[in-house]
Each structure stands twice: as structure tokens, then as C-alpha cells.
Structure 1
Amino acid sequence: MSAKVALKQNHIQQHLAVKRADLKVCNLKKSFSGKEILRDVSFKICSEEAVSLIGANGSGKSTLIRCCLRLIEPDGGRLEFFGQDLMLANQRGLRKIRSKVGFVSQKHNLVPRLSVLSNVLHGALAYQRSPRLWFQGFAPSVLREKAMHCLELVGLQDFGSRRADHLSGGQSQRVAIARALMQQPEFIIADEPVASLDPQAGDEVMELFVSLVRKEKITLLFSSHNLDHAIKYSDRILGLRNGEIEIDTASSGQSAFTLRGFYE
């Protein structure tokens, strides 16, 4: 590590020390079939920060993201969201923490046969457990109005009654973003959110997504294979290689050229 990089990383750590950490990961470990995927991964993300996670296929990005939500169970280490130990949480406690954390994946996971509005309403299930929310006709008017507002934010206010399986890839991902916003999250984790889109649609959706996250003061962790996106839309970059965090550095001053080694 160069003296310049070390100085920059030291500055980041000093900056983070005075801010509230929404997510703390300490010595996280995960193996599959005896193969180590994550090795003592440690980092923290502070309130309203946007952090990108980069690394080649097989570096452990998706595993790390799913471990952070306990969608898969880590083998060891410590996870804290908003000061609460996720590893010690029971199912009720886990649901409460997850209700504050939105998740956007590259596979938007919409319900094809339902309307766009109904899909967005599902975001409210984080704080309204009624199964009636699955259908827009039964949802309270205040929630329908909020869902329409979320669709307006992503430019799809005229698509509420359209079936989800009649949307393009870019439109589907916008609906997934609206659904995440409907959840009223304090934190959003996004796993390759535009990887399935063509370059132009990916640029448009990413620009919209991050601008809305920043406007709503939501903390963000997103993984990306697009180094330009990772640099442009984050405050910090975490570089994962062979299951270990190799860099934790400010995005400013970085370039795709200097980071390309993470994909070689």
C-alpha cells in the first residue's frame, strides 16, 4: 500500500469515527462446502453515506450482501444495524431491523400477474402486515396515495394499472426502486441493481436511484461491476478480492483505470 493511499484511508477512518454507524461488520466469515468465501471482513457505513462494493465474480460480493441481511447465515463475526446486534436477534427482532432496510436486486422480483401499483404497495408490508396489501383495491387510500407518489418519483405515475409482466427491464427496475422507497427505509442495500439492463438504461436508472436515495437521506450500500458507477455514485469504495476487503477508500480521485485490477 502506498503512503498516499494509507494516508487517505486513515483520513476516512478518522472521519467515520465521529459519525453514527448505521452498519458495522466485524470479522465476518462464510464458507460453502469447505471453501472460504468471506475471510474476516470488517467495515462500517455511516448514516447517509453511499458506499459501493466492487470485485470480480466469485470475490464474495453477493455473499457479503446476503450475510449483511442474514438471508444466509454467516459462520462467524458480528453484524450491527443501527446499534442492534443482528447475529443475536430472534425472528421478531430480525423482522424489525429488516423493516428499516430496503433491498434491491438485479432481478427485480416483481409479481408478474399483479399491477405495478400492487407491486409497489408490497413495500408497505415492512410496517403494515395485512395480506390485504397484496391487492390495490383493498389497500387503505393513504397507502395507495403514497404508492402513487413513489411511482411519480421514478417517472411511472401513469403505469399504476399496468401488469408488471408488460414492463421493460428498465421500467421493472424503476418499480423495484419505488417499492423499496415505499418501505420508508433508513438504509438500502442493492446487489448489482442495473446489471441486467443495457448500458443506456443502466445509466438512467442508476442516476435516478442514487439521486432519490440522497434526496431522502437514505444510507446506501450497492455492489457493481460498472466501475464508473461505483466511483460516480458513492462516497466510498470497498474493494473485495478473494473474500477480503483489500481497499476502503474515498471515491473522489479514483478512476476505472486505477481500480481495474479488481476485475482481472
Structure 2
Amino acid sequence: MLTPPVVLAVAGTDSGGAAGLAADLATIGHHGCHGACAVTAVTAQDTSGVRAVHALPVGAVADQLDAVLDDLPVAVVKTGMLGSPDVVRLVADRLGHLPLVVDPVLVATSGAVLGDAAVVAAYRDDLLPAATIATPNLVEARVLAGREAPARELAERLADLGPAVVLTGGPEWRPGSDVADCTDWLCEPGGRPVALSHRAVTTSADHGSGCTYASALAARVAHGADLVPAAQAAAAYVTGRLEQSRDWCLGRGRGPVSHLAPASDNPPSAPHQEEPA
């Protein structure tokens, strides 16, 4: 077997095993990459909410990054919850020279706030300009843009900060709805937003789906995929994971998206690309 590409996940832990580094490393492995990691925060959380967040000192995060970078040929970095503005700036400084997929984890699936105003400012001023791709959901995009606006407009505004943006989900879809499709908006810097539609899965077992999407995208990029097919493949992968967990009864709240081994080597059909009107 050929040596796999290395994807470095920089994120927090989830004691319920659904999101954060648990989701990142499982997804990266499913995509034929080796997952390295740096822990930024330890959370006490379950499917119903976040009970506590213990952010690591910036020096402890820096030590982990140095250990990985000194030893492994990192192909792509994927970030999740970073915990403090100092860590956000550290990631921009130490990892900005690498392909960098930023999942700006600011709000948990349960609604808990995981990034305060100082963290948001550090994302806008330091990390997003250094990022290659950002994958906010609608709530995170509104926080980062500082305004209420349609998803398409938000994707374009955030791309003006420097990264390509894949704004995931879209305002027309919520877990448990009867909507057949949901829409991701992809916008490259200086470009026009493009709608990437894919099948919605009606389930409340979706905790960790954002981390899973960003990690799948990072792994596809590590294998050399271009942005649009990588985004389409990542969405198809998440669709398959949600299909597997849609009827699970785990926990009292929003249950975990499946990170069991994929049922098939053949992922679901890739979503179709639509040019904006």
C-alpha cells in the first residue's frame, strides 16, 4: 500500500464521541488518509448540550503542532473548535503556509456558543485570510459576516476575506423537515456563488455532521481533488453517514451522525452543480 497523505486535525474533543476530533479522525481514515491531531480544548458534552469547555493553553497547542510538523509530511490541515483567540492566531501563523480547511466551529449543534466575540474577530482578521477553504454553516456565516443575509450573499462576503467558501446546508432545510434537497453555496474569491444541491436526509441523528463534512473535504483535497468535486464528494459522504444513522436512538438529544465503517466502497451519487440564476 502506498503511504497515505497526512491530514492534521486541530480541534476540540467531544466526550459523546460524535463531533470534534472523534469525527475528524474517523472521517479522515475512511478517506484513506492518516489523521494526526492537536487538541485545542476538552469539552464535557452529550447529545443534549455542552456542560463545560476546558480550553488548553496556547503553549500546549503549539507544542502539539510542533511535534506533528517536525515529524510528519502534513498535506492538509483541518481546523474545528479552536477555543481562544490566541489559538486562532497561532493556527494562522503556524499553519497558514499549508492548504488549510477551516470549519469555524462557533456554535454547537445543541446551540451552545463555542466562540465569543474575540474568537470571531480573530477568525475574521487572522485565520480566514490565511485559509484555503472555509466551511461555515448558516449560523456561523451570519456571525462571521456580522449580519443577517441570504446564504448566497454570505458566502460571497466571506470569500472576500480570502478563502474559498462552502456555506453548508442553506436556510431551506432543517433536520426532520420534508424538504427533498438542501443547498451548499460555494464561492471562490472574486467569483460568483454556485449552488451545490444534494439530497436531504430527515433525521435528528446529525450531531457531528459539520465536522464530518469539513474532514471529508480536507481528505479529498489531500488526495489532489479540485474544490468543486471535493465539495460534492464530501456532501455525498455525509449523506451516506446520515442515512446510516437516521433511525438510531442514541442519547436524549441530537444523536451522533454515523462514523461506523462505510457500508460500501461506493459513496452515494455526487450532488449536482447548479449555476446561479
TM-score band by shorter chain is 0.3 to 0.5
- Which structure has more helix as a fraction of its residues? 1
Higher relative contact order by CA 8 Å / sep ≥ 6: 1 or 2?
A: 1
